[in-house]
Amino acid sequence: MTEIGSDVQRAARILKSGGIVAVPTETVYGLAANAFDEKAVTKIFKAKNRPAFDPLIVHVADDASLASVAAEIPEAAHKLRRHFGPGPLTLVLPKTAQVPDLVTSGLPHVAVRTPNHPAAAELLGMLTFPLAAPSANPFGYVSPVTAAHVAAQLGGSIDYILDGGRCTVGIESTIVAFTDRPKILRLGGLSQEAIEAVIGPVEVAAESSANPAAPGMLTAHYATKKPLVIGHIPTLLKAHNERSPAVLGFTSNYGTAGEILSKSGDPDEAARNLFAAMRRLDESNAGIILAEFLPESGLGRAVNDRLRRAGADRKL
């Protein structure tokens, strides 16, 4: 099994030598490699069994590092970074020639962000290159929010797991593209309302079934191994009673051996708890997971997005 530890210097040495390391961020744990080293980046795709058509997010330490991967940074993008960076915000910008096509899946733009986590910030500060780092889980499965989650799924196939505790946001970053007019390509840990308060109205893109323009846009993603069905819980309980259902509820588990995302009805708390709750239900004795949507506002939109994709293309 891959060692779990808090040695940031060791993580830096491994990355400098072309290895791959699971790294904590405020959103989820990422599987990191030198973004300028195609051989190292290839190890990410192999460890995750990730298709090459799905681009990676590049993590940079600061604005100076951003200039090494982004050829152009519009003023609206600068505004968002000033308001929300470091944080759960990813910008899609025209890429520099230094960024390998493997990282961007051949696209002319790159997804880039600065994480708001002390261990990630310390690590990036030790390096002379940015880090390509998608979520540290097998492709398509629930994202990891603890070092133990990473070890359970990728242990043995990566070089080191840097333990930075449990992720505080709990879902991936919000992705905003600046390839034309600003557009949200993926809802995440920064709400649409917060973004629009800074740069005005933004369009939200639809999911993609193939050749996505940014990470996390595939229609079916974040999936549990057990079937997951979304709808009106009392009705679903009646319909699936013989399958030993467990409920993934917003403020109630409806009397089942299920999970409650936020007893107080706080969508931010629900986002923090989502992936860990999905994992626990997936590892339980339940035969099927029944989930309900949150109100479509704030981070509720991002939670609903993850649930919708987790339940996509499932044969019951």
Per-residue pLDDT reduced to its tens digit, 60-113: 999 999 999 999 999 999 999 999 989 999 999 999 999 999 999 999 999 999
Q: Where are the domains of the chain?
A: 4-204, 228-310
Q: Are strands 57-59 and 131-132 parallel, antiparallel or unpaired?
A: antiparallel
Give the pLDDT confidence score for residue 311 in this predicted structure.
84
Alpha-carbon distance of 115 to 146, in angstroms, equals 16
Helix axes 192-199, 75-84, angle to 10 degrees: 130
Q: What is the pLDDT of residue 313?
A: 54
Q: What is the pTM of this model?
A: 0.90
Which of the residues in the chain have pLDDT under 50? 208-210, 314-316
What does the chain come to in residues? Answer: 316
Q: Give the containing element (helix H, strand E) for 184.
A: strand 183-186
Report how far residue 250's alpha carbon sits from residue 3's, in angstroms, rounded to the nearest whole number.
Answer: 35
Alpha-carbon span 25 to 14, nearest angstrom? 18
Residue 210: its pLDDT value, please? Answer: 46
Quote the pLDDT of residue 159.
97
**Residue 177, amino acid:** A
Tell me which CATH homologous superfamily contains domain 228-310: Threonylcarbamoyl-AMP synthase, C-terminal domain (3.40.50.11030)
Question: At a CB cut-off of 8 Å and minimum separation 6, what does 80 contact?
Answer: 89, 91, 176, 195, 198, 199
Buried b (16+ CB within 10 A) or exposed e, 222-259: bbbebbbbbeebeebeebbeeeebbbbbbeebeebebb
pLDDT on residue 315: 45
CATH annotation of 4-204: 3.90.870.10
What does the pLDDT read at residue 31? 98
